[in-house]
Amino acid sequence: MKTNTLHSVRGNQRHWDLLRLLRHHTAFPNETSAVALGEFDPDAAQDTLSFLQDECRVLIIGAGGLGCELLKDVVLSGFTKVDIIDMDTIDVSNLNRQFLFRAKDVGKSKAECAAAFVRNRMASEDTKVDITPHFKKVQDMDADFYRQFHVILSGLDNIEARRYLNSLVVSLAEVDEDGEVDPSTIVPLIDGGTEGLRGQARVIIPRITSCFECSLETFPPQKNFPMCTIAETPRQPAHCIAYAFIVLWPREFPEKKLDKDSPEHMQWVYQAAKERAEQFGIAGVTYSLTLGVVKNIIPAVASTNAVVSAMCVSEALKAMSYCSRLMNNYHMHMGATGCYSHTFQYDKKTDCVVCSSQQKTLQVDPDVTTLQKLIDQLCGDDFRLLKPSISSAHTNLFMQGPPALRTATSPNLVKPLRELVKDGENLTITDAVFVGDMALSLQIIFKATIKNGVEKPTPMED
């Protein structure tokens, strides 16, 4: 009888398959990638495995449907030093797909319960799994916290939180006087997202590849609401409405299907949503908003989470071990009408407000455009900022906070730009989207005035 070579290679080692992969000579090592992070050395497989298990620190952001899959896959792939962040608590509606939670966990921290479950399941005499949970918002952790990790995997369902995280990892990548990025300051970000039967995985190498902000225009203003968001700590009126529709109605009327066209049914949802909103101090729940939200709920599909998580963790393993080419750099999974996937390179946006150093220019009519209109434009489709503050080289034009400074600068909002800035002057824009010292440099160009049908240059000011 022939010896089972796979069994002899395995021995008593849990990650025997990973060690065999790291020993395998390949024609497609990491250094052949379009974006290479390092050189693969199969002769140093044991050292690479030791790094993955003893030194490499992984951060997972989000412990919902996708986050549970990410945590499971990361630990099964050989990583043993993992941190996980999530600000939400477990709701009973999560239990059908967020498989690291049980009924006894309802009301508890997602991050803490997920960490405890995997730690207890995976720890052994041979392998110690060190999982540290953080029951906090992504924005609560400073840059030094994120700097300590070798790779970050994101399973967020919130666009603004993803923008913040993207801006943060870009700010960590230091650039020298010649414009070269210091490789030791790069923290790769593997971003995953799912929506029903669709999903995407993306590799972001800060300041090298395109960043999340480069593709922000592909995300229209959110009208749908992921299931895992509405069931936890609500943050918007729509979350309260969706919770009433998805969770409270079946609980109150288990034998009755909600009729979206019934005024009586919709009135019940509206009142239930109002009560939930009052509990959390959220304003803005209206009957008309209720009608809109109940028809736009995104079902969470466990299989989509599993597919996207597998892609993300595979890229993280390649980025840390150099055992294969990195994906370049965006993968789409579409399962609504069959199973279709597509990988392509998402190019950097030359005027990206986060990863591009190129100064932005904006032409305005200085007599018509007020500072408030400029802020509205910055919050529009071209820039999509949240709450911008504006300053010039001489003074603060408008500051969102603190309250005293906002009060002092608010009178400028109604003034035309001609009274506040000079033609060609550079303004500094800060926003919640930007992290640390990052800011948008915006040059204001006055449009030529039109008089008697003839274009007349705007007079230069001293």
Q: Which residues does the annotation mark as catalytic? A: 228
Paired with 390 in beta bridges are 398, 429
Residue 108 parent element (H or E): none
- Torsion, Cα of 451, 452, 455, 457 (10° steps): -40
The Cβ of residue 59 has, within 10 Å, a number of other Cβ atoms equal to 25
Opening angle at CA 260, ends 258 and 263, nearest 5: 100
Residue 450 has phi, psi (to 5 degrees) of -110, 125
As given in the structure block, the two tokens for residue 316 are 């993280």
Give the contacts of 294 (CB within 8 A, at least 6 positions apart): 241, 242, 245, 258, 260, 266, 269
Residue 154 has phi, psi (to 5 degrees) of -110, 130
Compute the distance between CA of residue 312 and CA of residue 277 in angstroms, rounded to an integer.
35
The Cβ of residue 137 has, within 10 Å, a number of other Cβ atoms equal to 13
154-166: burial string, b at 16+ Cβ within 10 Å, e else: bbbbebebbbbbb
As given in the structure block, the two tokens for residue 176 are 């020298």
Compute the distance between CA of residue 49 and CA of residue 13 in angstroms, rounded to an integer.
12
Compute the distance between CA of residue 133 and CA of residue 120 in angstroms, rounded to an integer.
14
Which pairing describes strands 81-85 and 57-61: parallel, antiparallel, or unpaired? parallel
As given in the structure block, the two tokens for residue 161 are 């939180």
The Cβ of residue 443 has, within 10 Å, a number of other Cβ atoms equal to 15
200-222: burial string, b at 16+ Cβ within 10 Å, e else: bbbbbbbbbbbbbbbbbeeeeee
